[in-house]
Amino acid sequence: MKKIVIDTNIFLNFYDTNIETHKVLKELQKYTTYLLLPNLVIEEFLRNKNRLLDNLIQLYKKPDEKPKSFHNSALIQSLSEYESLVKAKNNYFKQIDKIRSKLNEIRQNPNKDTLYLTVSEIFNSNDVEILEYDDEIISKAHQRSLLGNPPGSDQDKIGDEVIWETLLMKSKSDIIIVTRDKSYLNNIDLLKKEYNKEQSRHLIDITEKISDAIKLIGVEPPEEIIELENDQIDYIHERQERLMPSSITPISSIFGDLTKEDYNLYKSFFKYPTTFTSTAVVNGTEQRTEK
């Protein structure tokens, strides 16, 4: 049977996009019997989920400085719009407090994190094949990192290497890997050659999309799921191109019970930047450009 391997970054990316994309995870739940997961993927998700939530709590911390008071002459105060403006200002800080409070609740109680609950259902399914790593796999991962062979990064951690070595040593299936890690995507031919040394198994493909993996096991996913995932990937790529920090996350991806009024208020005060300024030194002179 063909198996689908989902990398950690795929699960974590759902924290970076809106709640509609959770339908992609719900679709994935239909195919748990096809899932093969190295145990380190689960460990990395649990560890980094908390890091993302901690970053969000910092993002929504109480502002050190409140906006300057509005000009409030007798004429201004006589306007009905002035009263609405004051209420909006006060409500802004109340909503920040509410969001931060909810994030702290989620950090302390994962059962209030709707995304975590969905991913946990996948991890805990009896149909999912889990591959454990051991000391031999860690040793081989260290060697891989020292040699500079993919997958992996220039960082001190060897998570990618451990995941790959786990697949090499423990998997007996034809696999499709879903990842947005360039060290996999840019080295497909090399990784296929290494995995396919065992003639009874093949690395079929490496893709960024869960929907592509579902197609490769012979099922056509719903068009809505394909479109949602395309939109998700477009957003992620756009954010990377604009050098946007991953800690800036749409709050609706964390809890789905935010009211429409609260969510609109959130959007009005926490819009993603549409420009960034870069500085370069040319012929001894600083030049600034905006994109």
Residues 258-288 pLDDT 10s: 444 544 444 444 433 333 333 333 344 444 4
Residues 52-107 pLDDT 10s: 888 888 877 765 545 555 566 777 777 788 788 878 878 888 888 888 899 899 99
Q: Map tokens 């960082």 to a residue.
A: 155
For the chain, the farthest-separated pair of C-alpha atoms sits apart, in whole angstroms, at: 85
Q: What is the pLDDT of residue 94?
A: 86
Q: Per residue in 157-194, is it b (16+ CB within 10 Å) or e — as a string?
A: ebbbbbbbbbbbebbebbbbbbbbbebbbebeeebeeb
Q: What is the pLDDT of residue 52?
A: 87
Residues 123-166 pLDDT 10s: 999 999 999 999 999 999 999 999 999 999 767 889 999 999 99
Half-sphere exposure of 55 (CA within 13 A, CB side): 16
pTM score, two decimals?
Answer: 0.76
